[in-house]
Structure 1
């Protein structure tokens, strides 16, 4: 045992293990190592730039067992902090990393406050050591995340946030960049996802360091990771099925019409489910949390006009400004003439420029402000001197702008653009037709009558809004279908009196006229249903309709056969106010809306049903502008890969030897495929077209053979 103890001073891992098991028994051995550490530390201070292996081992050893002797090591953390603060620039990289690891170990044992360690680590960012900076960034993020695992520590978070916000104004670019990166990462991890963090990151967009500014701009241009991972699957449960749509749409009764309508409904349901399944690309909460979006957009635009940054940085600023304008419906009228200058087919990143113009369009922008932008776009892109792809991209950009601000288009320009629906190139033709479909659903009066498509119930209810008009409704559009469904599902009274009348409707009072025959009729019906005159339970859709000579009608609910139906708006308002709508009710409303899109009116000439109208999202997708309807060209390697993928799981193409016995002989026809060409050259000549002379000789020989046979 004595020999074992004599080896302990030289075997630090074994001593560390024993101290953790029984700190009191090995306190003397620890104090011996601690005195040795202090003597080596005094020597190290004389030459701090040199690596000391003994000191390196002792620092980690003491940090590992520091929780066992807190009274002895009360000054130990401050000693390490003083060394790093004083000599951090000249320390050996390995030695500096060891001291940082020891401090992190002390922090994990709650022997250091997080604020003291953060201030030191941000001070160390001035070192020219990339590995150290990455290590410190990871620790800071992990430490703050662990502190907020069970519950958010509001007081500590406020202290840390204030310190980190002050680092944004630091004169050192690396410290400012690190603070922005940490805040962005904590926001993505849903730890610091409050409005205060977002608005401080917004101030970094005006930093004098380009890297800091670019990091902040990229943060606002990104997408919300939480929304990318967790798509809302609850909406798919409430999606109306094809069967429900068919039940709601009972207009066409012929079998052929019913099949055609079923096909249209399936297409609409499939498109809407696909659209709901893919979350919008711009479902990003950071831009929604900006306190002063108008001021932020104006400052960014002013900075853009004065800056000399690279073109890529300017593009990012334009993108952020356009998103702010479109999302918050801001007024920044100088933005449109500025971006109008870049609308040229030869402009670098021109499709992104068109995307920004569309993103900055909204219903509150005055049409006369956007009209020059639209004319410039049409004059530079939608002309015969350009290629088909350029024309298609121009028409797509026009469609995206007009989907957000329909009033910017005038009748003459729209009818000129619509003429491209018969263009020889498919990409241009489809882009023009998408523009037609857009205005069919927004302002069909601007289109020529032949381009308005087949009128449906949905298009008849459409109402064009003027500039600044708000379509505020006190009812849920389409809710009238609930009354119809309740009417269809209600059964009448039983004539033989075996069962009582029952209904899902409400109890209401029915007022009768003064005619005696009307009162008798009401009494008879009440007796047949087993109801008292004072207590009448109303079946929805059933009315007692008696009309006096002076034209007065009784008040109450009616069936479709006994009276004319109320206006659909009044029915929708009645259905919205009479009860709280459930998810099942909203499913019925959605199903009825789908049926309206494919249900044609009784009048009018039959025309093909129009496709689904273009939907307006918060952000314009670059693929919508660059979408040209034609097959993309692939290089030879890509084509070969596609061919090989198509051949997987398929039998080898060509001749297959299907003989049961592989050693049996082959036919002459099979042998001919493997023979040398020179052996078959004389037979291949027989396949050529014979001359007239050869035909004469062949005919003569044939006749001579026939004569000899006789």
Structure 2
């Protein structure tokens, strides 16, 4: 018996998984064995700390590996049974933190497989709820820039999953505050470093690993919809001024909506796509020349799939949409914009052009969204407004996006002159002129007072050009000023609609805004729609009553019983608020309709009286000037008539306003009603544009369609693109991808390319033809054939006949 106990004890100490299983079944019975292993673990832990401090005294590597392996097994064992002995293992998370991040006594961290084991067991403690999410993330977040890529991927996935799970049902504000504070600290850790710039790439290694990973974690959580508050945006806003240009670029791409964290990633992606395409071509060539099989077919298909995935990912990165919610949530956007401009101006010589364009794009979008005035930006951007400047279209887009109605015109006038001098003159190409005119149009659309009359007349003259893009751009500028400020145009250039609209209308000066809107635009359309629905419903009821009367009174049987049953029914009844109204009483509705009809008749009469009074007053002006001697009685009568006209007009306007706002007073408009109102306005604008409403109706229709796209979720419509600056152009040369796409479309629904002559046209299969055999015949055999020998032995007369016949045949083919 003692022998068996001794053998059992040896077995338990050497077989940790078995001891772990027994402890989970009976923790109290095996507490001594656990304490033995735990003491062994503590001794190895102290040995690890001592060896890390005196790491200069290197020992045998095999002994170190064995001790690390045993130490890792003990860590796993203690973590597995920690929930059985909470009092004894309460210091376990702190010990793991010291192993990963370094202890307070100055001990170094563990490396290699032992560090991976500690991380896995730390995550296991979180899954067993021995530690909470805050303790776990406080250890894992600082590890991200220190560990290799394989372990980093696991840590990153763990952090994202834990935060997402904690915020799944309700927002865990305590956890979010702690993690956001940690990320703030990671970004702030390198803010005091010296700015190096990215022109001398690879010369100086900048310290920004912690800040980079903080920005990447914020981007992932924002993309997954876990964090979407202002504090999240403030972390990235702080990173936008980090001394490390890679961190800056990642933060700028977050606001611009792109997934690329570095400008070099775009070039590397294109190079990877080209390499993958060359690999596919090489594989196809090998299969054509050598022997092919199923394995090679599978390899080729796999390579094609990977190439298509890379190409789709690259295209998605290029067509990124702006992160508009993040721009809206910026705290103190004026200070943010001024700091962006100071950063751009201060480090102009050490930043590359791509990085400066990123800052310009973000600054312009912030200025446009929040209507900021950073006046130094326009004097800074003037030096980049040349047609030979690299990426000048992006610079023009940034310029136009930064302008709004509160931008001072005096600051923009030199910019407009510079654009006209550099882009719009006969010494440049048609595409350059079109781009310059489009850029000027977009700037003037946002601030019309920055244009000068002489310059405008010169730019409008380009509508007589022979190039389509230039004509379109010049006409667009002309149409814009016909709408916003026709007074700057010459009389013959204003057009009929602009000339008629100019009478009695004054263009608002800079800084002035229109009066507040009275009522809801297009509300009468919604009222007419409801009235038509009401008429249709009344017609359906009348038709139903006639049909019921024809059925020998069957529909009127037990009508009182049905009404009693309906009155006894309990509960609320769902009524749609989008297109129908509930009729409460017929008598009240009938009275309302009569009252509405009477008001309409009175309003028409008042309007007719006011028109007649105005006409009579205009006709009597000349007569009144001649008849000065009639005295004061006529003047009193004229004053009375004028007062009556004014009172009539005022009454008409007030009743008209009351009529328009009647529906809003009687009914609470729901989101469904507003959606229906937008549809009705869009439909009315389409009908007006199709019936010849002119360019104004078309522009109104385009504005309504753009607002509808924005409401539906397409936020990119709020910002300009390069295509809007370039305008319509001639068909550009197709890229390799576009050519291959056309080729693939042409091959759809068609047999494999090849001639249909010979055996393919025959009903029964056969061998190759004699002509095909002669084509493939060896040369030495063809030289001695009968046909060739007859040509050699032919007489001169026969050769002349054949030559003449060949010439005649060629002439017939030409004609």
TM over 0.5: yes
| Within-5 A mapping of 1:121-140 | 121=140, 124=143, 127=146, 129-140=148-159
1:643 aligns with 2:743: yes
* Partner of residue 72 from structure 2, selected from 56, 81, 88: 56
* Partner of residue 92 from structure 1, selected from 111, 129, 139: 111
Q: What is the deviation of 1:427? A: 2.8
Q: What is the deviation of 1:339? A: 0.8
* Greater relative contact order structure (CA < 8 Å, 6+ sep): 1
What SS is found at the alignment partner of 1:146?
Answer: helix
Q: Kindly indicate whether the alpha-carbon contact (under 8 Å) linking 2:435 and 2:727 is maintained by their aligned counterparts in 1.
A: yes
1:655-708: CA deviations, max 9, x gaps? Answer: 645856346999999999999999997554332449xxxxxxxxxxxxxxxxxx
**Alignment CA distance shift 1:644-1:281 (3 Å):** closer
Q: Kindly indicate whether the alpha-carbon contact (under 8 Å) linking 1:479 and 1:589 is maintained by their aligned counterparts in 2.
A: no
Q: Kindly indicate whether the alpha-carbon contact (under 8 Å) linking 2:76 and 2:121 is maintained by their aligned counterparts in 1.
A: yes
1:459-506: CA deviations, max 9, x gaps? Answer: 899985442232321122233334555677787999xx9999xxx999
Q: Partners of 1:82 and 1:665 in 2: how far apart?
A: 82
* Partner of residue 431 from structure 2, selected from 389, 392, 398: 389
Give the match for residue 213 of structure 1: 248
Give the match for residue 293 of structure 1: 333
* Partner of residue 361 from structure 2, selected from 319, 322, 334: 319
Give the match for residue 160 of structure 2: 141
Which consecutive residues of structure 1, in runs of 5 or more, have no partner in the other structure? 226-278, 508-529, 554-563, 691-710
1:33 aligns with 2:37: yes
Q: Kindly indicate whether the alpha-carbon contact (under 8 Å) linking 2:257 and 2:321 is maintained by their aligned counterparts in 1.
A: no
Q: What is the deviation of 1:67? A: 1.6
Q: Kindly indicate whether the alpha-carbon contact (under 8 Å) linking 2:242 and 2:248 is maintained by their aligned counterparts in 1.
A: yes
| Within-5 A mapping of 1:586-601 | 586-600=678-692
What SS is found at the alignment partner of 2:240?
Answer: helix
Q: Partners of 1:628 and 1:552 in 2: how far apart?
A: 50
Q: Partners of 1:535 and 1:324 in 2: how far apart?
A: 55
Give the match for residue 358 of structure 1: 400
**Alignment CA distance shift 1:489-1:455 (3 Å):** farther
Q: Partners of 2:453 and 2:592 in 1: how far apart?
A: 58
Give the match for residue 525 of structure 2: 481
Give the match for residue 695 of structure 1: none
**Alignment CA distance shift 1:376-1:613 (3 Å):** farther
| Within-5 A mapping of 1:619-638 | 619-634=719-734
Q: Partners of 1:186 and 1:607 in 2: how far apart?
A: 46
Number of equivalences: 593
What SS is found at the alignment partner of 2:171?
Answer: coil
| Within-5 A mapping of 1:144-543 | 144-171=163-190, 173-222=208-257, 281-282=321-322, 284-307=324-347, 308-311=349-352, 312-444=354-486, 446=488, 465-471=508-514, 472-482=516-526, 538=594, 540-541=596-597
Q: What is the deviation of 1:404? A: 1.9
Please say which of residues 148-157 and 124-133 is displaced more in the overlay. Answer: 124-133
Q: Partners of 2:406 and 2:696 in 1: how far apart?
A: 34
CA RMSD in angstroms comes to 4.9
Q: Kindly indicate whether the alpha-carbon contact (under 8 Å) linking 1:16 and 1:61 is maintained by their aligned counterparts in 2.
A: yes
Q: Kindly indicate whether the alpha-carbon contact (under 8 Å) linking 2:49 and 2:108 is maintained by their aligned counterparts in 1.
A: no
Q: Partners of 1:418 and 1:588 in 2: how far apart?
A: 36
Q: Kindly indicate whether the alpha-carbon contact (under 8 Å) linking 1:97 and 1:132 is maintained by their aligned counterparts in 2.
A: yes
Q: TM-score, normalised by structure 2?
A: 0.61
Q: Partners of 1:210 and 1:376 in 2: how far apart?
A: 31
Q: Kindly indicate whether the alpha-carbon contact (under 8 Å) linking 2:387 and 2:422 is maintained by their aligned counterparts in 1.
A: yes
Q: Partners of 1:485 and 1:24 in 2: how far apart?
A: 80
Q: Kindly indicate whether the alpha-carbon contact (under 8 Å) linking 1:486 and 1:540 is maintained by their aligned counterparts in 2.
A: no
1:580-626: CA deviations, max 9, x gaps? Answer: 4424344323322332333336xxxx999967657695322233223
**Alignment CA distance shift 1:565-1:147 (3 Å):** closer
Q: Partners of 2:97 and 2:696 in 1: how far apart?
A: 78
**Alignment CA distance shift 1:280-1:663 (3 Å):** closer
Q: Partners of 1:372 and 1:653 in 2: how far apart?
A: 62
1:360-397: CA deviations, max 9, x gaps? Answer: 10011122221111111121011211112212221222
In terms of fraction of residues, the more helix-rich structure is 2
1:40-78: CA deviations, max 9, x gaps? Answer: 434434434644111112212221222222233222222
**Alignment CA distance shift 1:668-1:137 (3 Å):** closer
1:241-284: CA deviations, max 9, x gaps? Answer: xxxxxxxxxxxxxxxxxxxxxxxxxxxxxxxxxxxxxx994461
Give the match for residue 685 of structure 1: 807
What SS is found at the alignment partner of 2:718?
Answer: coil
Q: Partners of 1:390 and 1:648 in 2: how far apart?
A: 40
Q: Partners of 1:166 and 1:203 in 2: how far apart?
A: 11
Please say which of residues 122-131 and 209-218 is displaced more in the overlay. Answer: 122-131
**Alignment CA distance shift 1:112-1:552 (3 Å):** closer
| Within-5 A mapping of 1:599-610 | 599-600=691-692
Q: TM-score, normalised by structure 1?
A: 0.70
Q: What is the deviation of 1:344? A: 0.7
Which consecutive residues of structure 2, in runs of 5 or more, have no partner in the other structure? 56-63, 191-206, 261-318, 546-579, 612-651, 708-716, 792-798
**Alignment CA distance shift 1:321-1:635 (3 Å):** closer
Please say which of residues 377-386 and 6-15 is displaced more in the overlay. Answer: 6-15
Q: Partners of 1:671 and 1:448 in 2: how far apart?
A: 81
Q: What is the deviation of 1:446? A: 4.7
Q: Partners of 1:192 and 1:358 in 2: how far apart?
A: 32
Q: Partners of 1:140 and 1:506 in 2: how far apart?
A: 54
**Alignment CA distance shift 1:470-1:547 (3 Å):** closer
Q: Partners of 2:219 and 2:702 in 1: how far apart?
A: 38
**Alignment CA distance shift 1:498-1:630 (3 Å):** closer
Q: What is the deviation of 1:9? A: 4.0
What SS is found at the alignment partner of 2:685?
Answer: helix
Q: What is the deviation of 1:286? A: 1.3
Q: What is the deviation of 1:445? A: 5.3
